[in-house]
Amino acid sequence: MYSLLFKSFFRTKIFLVSLALLLTVGVISIFIGKQYLVKQEKTIAAAQVYQEESIEKNVAYHREDLGLLLYYLRFTLIKRPQNINAISIGQSDVNPLLQAVTIRALEAQKYDTDFENPSLLMSGNLDLGFVIIYLFPLVLIAMTFNLYSEEKELGTWRILAAQTSAKAGFLFKKLLVRILFVFVVLVFLLFLASAILQIPMNTNFWAIFVQSVLYVLFWSALCLWMVSLLRNSSFNALALISIWVVLTILIPALVNNYVINAFQVPEALDAMVEQRDGYHEKWDLEKDATMTEFIKAYPQYKNYPVPEDEFSWIWYYGMQYMGDFAAKDTSAEMTEKIMLRNTVSEKIALFVPTMHAQLSLNSLAGTDVLSHLDFLKSLTEFHKNLREGFYTKIFDHKSADAVDWKNHEAKFYEQDYSFSWLKLLLPTLLITLIIAVLAGLNLRKL
């Protein structure tokens, strides 16, 4: 039976079109991911060279004045890219993988990023995750919407029904042939991506693999349920496409609109403005107003002189610190609201397999918003350690020779890729089982 069904399916135009479409777009998406990785590696290599050359050049110009030298020097923290990022690029096209900062106020530098083509950002990246989330369900719909109705409309169903008592089994076998074809293509593309992108087959790769298989299984169950309603081809096609639009486009858009309005995040510009105001207003105040708060944070510098009638680096960098201090609450509020948005989205996604799959792929690939927030948190700590390491030398009027510049090459941030298998798989698995049981109950009526 299965050999006949496979031969019959392989002779159809939909098989050839689906095979060509999935393989072509899938391979293109893998090479787009490859281009993304190459671009990031080039950027990181250029940043490392730039930092080394910049230190060398500026030290030559400002060797005697360490405070002035560190006004100009930038130090780079790099979020080390992993090849698995290329499977689901997520938000890493707008959230930079590296930040080059001075020891001056951080808030004005934290949200710097490259200019990108807005139309490209709006359409998103054609990565493999996009192909799995959006294209694979459409191919399944195209191959399965008329499994029963075509036989009915062509008048062959009565002949088939007369030849077998297991009518539901026959429909299930036809569906299984198509599902197996889709799974074979999916598995091929995932292993091809692993080979081309040189992704190690670690826990995160297998998690993406299982999540992708489970996602396709969900759509397979949904198509089986629609077939089990025993409606005509037009109804099935329209209903399944409508469900696809609702699950992949409408609900994510509504959820996004809800969280944006329910948890309004202060603009990064607000924190930047508050930082600048907190810094610039100190120029017009008595120096004690600046130094009092600075000394509270760094009491070890309380005996350093701060002349009222002339410029001093301890006062200047104290102003820079106070600028960040003024923006502290706004920055913390922004981070908290972003995390709340993500939490609410994840909770809603537990009941929406398309959203859950997308968020899961981004999280497993390390390209989600929480990964970027962790990077920014690490950047804040990096900046704090950096400036505190220089403060004493600056305030003691040391020269550039007092610093071992070989220790100030670009630093790397190591990302945490941990996850929960239960949280990853259970939501989609339960929904798939429920739909499959409903489809089975309907098919018993045949």
| pLDDT interval class at 333 (50, 70, 90) | confident
Mean pLDDT, residues 35-49 taken together: 92
Residue 94 and residue 316: Cα distance in Å, rounded? 33
Report the chain's mean pLDDT, rounded to a whole number. Answer: 86
For residue 370, what are the domain limits?
Answer: 1-446
Hey, CA dihedral for 22, 24, 27, 29, is it positive or negative? negative
As a whole-number percent, the residues of the chain with pLDDT over 70 amount to 86
Question: So what's the pLDDT on residue 70?
Answer: 93
% of the chain exceeding 90 in pLDDT = 57
Residue 353's pLDDT is 96
Calculate mean pLDDT across residues 360-386: 93
Tell me the mean pLDDT in the region 92-118.
Answer: 76
Look at residue 149 and tell me whether its pLDDT is greater than 70: no
Mean local confidence (pLDDT), 149-161: 60
Where do we find the tokens 């020097």? 73
**Lowest-pLDDT choice from 90-99, 266-275, 309-318, 373-382:** 266-275
Question: Could you tell me the two tokens for 189?
Answer: 């593309």
Going by pLDDT thresholds of 50, 70 and 90, the confidence category of residue 330 is confident
Confidence band for 121, pLDDT divided at 50, 70 and 90: very low
Write the pLDDT tens digit of every residue in 125-141. Answer: 789 999 999 999 999 99
Nearest Cα residue to 315 out of 342, 335, 286, 344: 286
pLDDT of residue 417: 87
* Residues 95 and 372: beta-carbon distance below 8 Å: yes
How many domains are contained in the chain?
Answer: 1
Question: Is the model's pLDDT at 115 over the cut of 50?
Answer: no
Is pLDDT larger for residue 271 or for residue 342?
342
